[in-house]
Amino acid sequence: MPESVASLESEGRKILETRSIDYIPDAERHGSLFSQFTLWLSANLQVTAIITGALAVVLGGDVFWSLVALLTGQLIGGTVMALHGAQGPQLGLPQMISSRVQFGVYGAAIPIVLVCIMYVGFSASGTVLAGQATAQLLNVSDTAGICLFAALIVVLTLLGYRSIHFVGRIASVIGVLAFMFMFAQLFAHHDVGALLANRHFSIASFLLSMSLSASWQIAFGPYVADYSRYLPRSTSPARTFLAVGLGSVIGAQAAMVFGVFAAALAGHAFAHHEVAYIVGLGASGSVAAMLYFSIAFGKLTVTTLNAYGSFMSMATIVSAFRAKRAISTRHRFVYIIGMVGISTLVALAGRHSFLKEFTAFILFLLAFFTPWSAINLVDFYCFTRSRYDVPALSNPAGRYGRWNARAIGIYVLGVLVQLPFISTSFYTGPFVDALGGTDISWILGLIVPGVLYYVAMRLTPQVIPERLILPVEQE
């Protein structure tokens, strides 16, 4: 083969990712911790996080205690999220396929199906806001803006890992500049001190605000390791934890703080006009156009993460039942088109009632992801400690079996124990009123299954490999 042709093919492989759910060999590892920081900073420094912070005030909280509660939730949820992210370099595997260690090769499909639903919901909500910004920027309808944004997501997701990190670096710079400008305008034209002086503490509002930010961070858990799995295996877990966690917490808290102030100033004018009001706080003309661009571009990173994660999850489910791990580029394209198409349809159908439905969605998600997070983290950090048998992850007759009834049972119990304490617009548990409307379900969802899984593992003899077993060693 001519050297020039080989060089072109090599460059093509760098641009278009060919790996999917399979193990990343050491020879293909690359990247830096700074890239992890910028990826998660840009994924959080965006308009949906602003809306989430605004909900703390829209739903009854004051400014001061909402800010404190949101930061508390960020730190708790960000810790859970970053602990998942630190698994990536050690295992070289996507997040959800590693769940086969706890749930079995077939059993892992149970939480993964719910993860796919999460991707659709978050992609749809993000597409609504990005579509509004795109429509304002190009002077087209919201429907056209949503469809144009979705098409761009398909292209970027198909390119894969390197392109996602590249866009994340650009988006982090644009996001920092845009938020610096918006905060400067906010402080220059409004009396922020007066807003902070109005303090009326309510335990229900405090815990609700804490739940908003904690759920925001925990919801990244099912795919955060997907974007650190290419890092060299020698990368420090502690430094990975800090790079991922700090990027996510700093970005989300900055955006949510702005959202709190915006909602407090807007009052009832905020609902259904979120993007336009945020931009209109201090910008018009060409500056407003730049802010609309930054909002749309800022949604690229996190919406692409959701689309990429949906592809990885679908591939994980299919490979479990077909005993096949390699995913062709054609199948990859079909999965991506399918998941982005579904989320786009949801966005078009629900764009007029976005704020209310999004609130219920992100709170209800906690019931299904906190038990999974608790089980996965307890198993990894207390027992297996990255000593996985990678070939057995694709063998239903192997070490991890088809179904792990113990882990599945604890997971289901972890979901059920939360139901009496959940408070959303479409479901409210029977114990919520007795607690003054406070939703504490996610706290139980972390503690109960985590403790039960730890006890069960200690009481039952385990056959854990002495070290990480890689596919090349089996060959």
Q: Where are the domains of the chain?
A: 26-359
Mean pLDDT of 406-426: 89
Q: Dihedral sign, CA of 468, 32, 218, 245?
A: positive
Q: Choose which CATH entry (3.60.20.10, 3.40.50.720, 1.10.4160.10, 1.20.1420.30) describes domain 26-359.
A: 1.10.4160.10
Cα distance between residue 287 and residue 279, in whole Å: 9
What pLDDT score was predicted for residue 6? 41
Q: Which of 366, 352, 356 is nearest to 426 (CA)?
A: 356
Lowest-confidence range among 85-99, 284-298, 405-419?
284-298
What 8-state DSSP symbol labels residue 469? B
Mean pLDDT of 360-376: 81
Angle at CA of residue 279, ends 274 and 283, nearest 5°: 155
Record the pTM: 0.87
Res. 125 pLDDT band, cuts 50 70 90: confident
Does 342 score more than 60 pLDDT?
yes
Which residues, other chains included, contact 182 with Cβ-Cβ below 8 Å and sequence gap of 6+? Answer: 258, 278, 281, 282, 283, 291
Res. 252 pLDDT band, cuts 50 70 90: very high
Structure tokens at 248: 């996510």
Q: Which of 474, 468, 463 is nearest to 90 (CA)?
A: 468
Which residues, other chains included, contact 395 with Cβ-Cβ below 8 Å and sequence gap of 6+? Answer: 105, 323
Average pLDDT, rounded, for the chain: 83
347 vs 274, more confident? 347
Tens of pLDDT, residue by residue over 52-64, are 888 888 878 889 9
Q: Report the residue count for the chain.
A: 475
Which residues, other chains included, contact 101 with Cβ-Cβ below 8 Å and sequence gap of 6+? Answer: 379, 384, 388, 393, 400
